[in-house]
Chain A
């Protein structure tokens, strides 16, 4: 079975010349759940945007054995479910159904199949019965779940989540963590929430200034206070 994500020597500079990624290499096995931590501006979000080819840098990215290039973009975007930080950006339709159905409709699936996908996706995030609701009126936690459902409806192999716990109250955060633990897909989670990382994600990649500075077992890295402090992270209270 091919790696879920395979990134080799990826570098990227924004059009204004700012070097956002420098020589980044790593791989994710199918089903593996990995944290991506580091200070703001370290390049975490930029890296996520490379996974489905919204940004394209130098180097190679493969998803499910499929090389990310012009002609594979359509497939790659189905394989990588990118969940953005602000659910308001992701939920642009009047109702929950319309939003979750966007991916399947765009793929050209038939009506019955679209409805089945929407049902499954809503079920997976425990939001069955919300299809007719207006996204705008949901709570932040509910919006996050719907945002995840919008990508699950494309049957992705990998979920790339940007700050999934930001802005959630403790109960919603707890619920989200439970959900992420249940989902079978491989996961790359960019976050500042080290408590979530410690509980949920056995492997951790630390980034700073566009480079990977550490990649290994979460419990080991979290005990390395010098490393954490050097890269703008606060060790957890034990």
Chain B
């Protein structure tokens, strides 16, 4: 499906939620959100060489992957996303003082550098797994309610809800635009080299963005009219959430204690 300067894009943007009925799926969204954040904070607090922390946290994320019935493969495959950004951490390999393990020219790879680099890699990789399990087992509306329960301002919650409502419609619109552009990206009868100038191509993409924005403004007028028609008065009201079941609270407390324990362990053993 390639060919031409404007290749058809395969940006797969789907709702990451994977329906299911596992223990993790049934866990209250607020508990899941808090525990995910606690796990990532625990990782962030760990020193680069706190291996015991990485091992324990990885055990947690992979257990969650299995318990959620998403499968370890699903989570690991998606967690490879972090790889490109690893480039940003590469220089640290060579930028730490200490005895060199290997050297090329000016660069010398030190133990401290290696330790810090691997620390960054593991931390981001494990954090990513936790976030993947969270969003794959929690539908967006539940996440929004959880964020509201955690005192996120109502305006942000309602804006995010609206965005979510229209996001996939607009993604489809974008895909149709890209497809229409691709359909007219052709070669002349004499086979000459085409493609237009870089500036022209950027302007075309810009025109598509502009069209999308203009239509979205017009859509927002209609959305607003529809909200008014149903009695909207500028105040966002949400149904109150039932209190979390006891087992959820137990999981939350146990989880937080565990992460506190891991943090202390990391500090001691680093």
Contact = CB atoms under 8 A, between A and B. Distances in A.
Contact of A89 (B2, B176, B207, B214): B176
Contacts of B176: 84, 86, 89
B240 interface: no
B194 to A, nearest CB: 3
Contacts of A94: 207, 210
Contacts of B208: 92
Contacts, number: 100
A77 interface: yes
Nearest to B212: A92
Contacts of B193: 108
A78 B187 CA distance: 6
B159 to A, nearest CB: 25
Nearest to A77: B186
Interface string A77-89: 1100010101011
Given A73-B3, A73-B4, A108-B196, A98 B207 contact: yes
B101 interface: no
Interface residues on B, range: 20 to 34
Contacts of A175: none
B8 A54 contact: yes
A92 B183 contact: no
A138 interface: no
A105 B211 CA distance: 20
Counting chain B CB atoms within 10 Å of each CB, the highest count among A92, A136, A155 belongs to A92
Interface of B: 1-5, 8, 173, 176-177, 179-189, 191-196, 200, 204, 207-208, 210-211, 214-215
23 contacts: A49-B179, A74-B3, A74-B187, A77-B4, A77-B182, A77-B186, A78-B186, A78-B188, A84-B180, A84-B183, A89-B173, A89-B176, A89-B179, A92-B208, A92-B211, A98-B207, A102-B184, A105-B196, A106-B5, A107-B188, A108-B196, A136-B211, A150-B184
Top 5 A-B residue pairs of the complex, sorted by shortest distance between their CB atoms = A74-B187, A108-B194, A78-B186, A73-B3, A77-B186
